């Protein structure tokens, strides 16, 4: 999940690790954050050191792991205050019921709780404990208190717990924890209050119960757009065709299969959107009829009658709401600029993102793209970029122009 994320300025992440069995999982989190360019500092409770050694985190972060508030083995400063000032984001994970209760009620009796109480940055808490503890009304009330005080809570995952029980209470996976941190560190919050609808991936047009017509779209560009928009504060709805990508956090995902499914989902959700980005590769044609049973092979050639699917971008252009911004994509193999300009005008779009399938580094399935942004008055070509960078570039152009 760190792929494509470039830390523009070195940020300080403070990890608070408490005494749960999942404490050992935080070594991977610390390592990944360091590799992404973060300055990582770690505070452990005394109980946490029973599950994993502080030396592990000191080796991974090249910084002293703090445990004892009264430790004298460091340069003179009030450490819990200096760390609180230095931190750009704090993640407490795993967060035990004990530490959650302390933080919710202002108790500061160790290095971790004292530092958190002094922090003014974003504070994220990932509860992890036995299911019965997690569902205890006292714990639920303390979690609600933290939310009221501005803490962000990562919901516990469900599954088999270390105690042998099954249920809710697991520490979420590494990628989830890191996504919450990266969203907090993202400096651009220029889409707060905006609703964005994004389509992504291919569609599948069934021939029979076994076969379908589709294309090579991986969905990577649309998913990168959804992630970037959510990081910048937008309320994101992602309408996705069948892809093998994990669902992006912080978005409402609507799964669809066919072009008709995608059209219906767009039609049901487009009216109250501020920005609509059509990044999906929607089939232009679909079989006239779908066989109820598998079509058997014969000695003669087969012909499949096709009919046009509904043009979603055209529908959006014809039904554009006041103030709505509509961005389409144009994948071409020849005459890219001319075809894309015609598409912009014909579909009544505000912007077209054009790229060429025959250009190396662009097109389906890659982690990079080479795009040209086209509006009524401007055309700007960009060099090869990661799809995450392309996503931010597209959003910048929509918000600020280019």
Q: Which residues are annotated as part of the binding site for CTP?
A: 284, 294, 329, 343, 347
How far apart are alpha carbons 365 and 257 in whole angstroms?
19
Q: List the structure tokens of 181.
A: 């941190």
How far apart are alpha carbons 200 and 159 in whole angstroms?
30
Helix and strand totals (H; E) in the chain? 13, 21
Contact (CB, 8 A) for 14 and 41: yes
- Per the DSSP assignment, residues forming a β-bridge with 356 are 332
Q: Which of 332, 324, 371 is nearest to 349 (CA)?
A: 324
How far apart are alpha carbons 8 and 304 in whole angstroms?
52
DSSP letters spanning 209-230: SS-EE-----SHHHHHHHHHHH
119 noted as active-site residue: no
Catalytic residue among 38, 119, 121, 163: 163
How far apart are alpha carbons 84 and 193 in whole angstroms?
29
Residue with tokens 């993202």: 186
Cis ω on the peptide bond leading into residue 39 (within 30° of 0)?
A: no
Residues serving a catalytic function are 163
């Amino acid at each position: 999940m760190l792929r494509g994320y470039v830390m523009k300025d070195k940020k300080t992440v403070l990890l608070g690790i408490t005494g749960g069995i999942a404490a050992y999982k935080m070594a991977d989190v610390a390592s990944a954050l360091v590799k992404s360019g973060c300055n990582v500092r770690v505070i452990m409770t005394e109980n946490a050191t029973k599950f994993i050694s502080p030396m592990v985190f000191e080796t991974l972060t090249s910084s002293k792991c703090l445990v004892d508030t009264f430790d004298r083995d460091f340069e003179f400063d009030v450490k819990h205050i200096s760390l609180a000032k230095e931190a750009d984001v704090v993640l407490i994970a795993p967060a035990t019921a004990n530490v959650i209760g302390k933080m919710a009620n202002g108790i500061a009796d160790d290095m971790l709780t004292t530092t958190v109480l002094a922090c003014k940055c974003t504070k994220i808490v990932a509860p992890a404990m036995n299911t019965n503890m997690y569902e205890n009304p006292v714990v639920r009330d303390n979690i609600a208190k933290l939310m009221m005080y501005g803490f962000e809570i990562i919901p516990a995952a469900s599954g088999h717990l270390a105690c042998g029980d099954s249920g809710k209470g697991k520490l979420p996976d590494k990628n989830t924890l890191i996504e919450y941190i990266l969203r907090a560190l993202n400096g651009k919050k220029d889409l707060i209050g905006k609703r964005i609808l994004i389509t992504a991936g291919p569609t599948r047009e069934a021939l029979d119960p076994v076969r379908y017509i589709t294309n090579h779209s991986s969905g990577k560009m649309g998913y990168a757009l959804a992630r970037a928009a959510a990081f910048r504060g937008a309320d994101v709805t992602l309408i996705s065709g069948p892809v093998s990508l994990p669902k992006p956090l912080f978005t409402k995902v609507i799964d669809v299969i066919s072009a008709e499914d995608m059209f219906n989902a767009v039609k049901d959700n487009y009216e109250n959107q501020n920005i609509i980005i059509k990044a999906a590769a929607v089939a232009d044609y679909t079989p006239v009829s779908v066989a109820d049973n598998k079509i058997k092979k014969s000695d003669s050639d087969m012909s499949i009658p096709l009919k046009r699917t509904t043009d979603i971008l055209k529908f959006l252009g014809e039904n554009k709401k006041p103030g709505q911004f509509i961005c389409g994509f144009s994948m071409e193999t020849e005459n890219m600029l001319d075809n894309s300009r015609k598409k912009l005008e014909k579909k009544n779009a505000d912007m077209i993102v054009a790229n060429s399938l025959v250009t190396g580094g662009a097109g389906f399935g890659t982690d990079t793209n080479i795009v040209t942004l086209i509006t009524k008055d401007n055309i700007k070509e960009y060099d090869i970029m990661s799809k995450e960078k392309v996503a931010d570039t597209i959003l910048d152009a929509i918000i600020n122009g280019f």
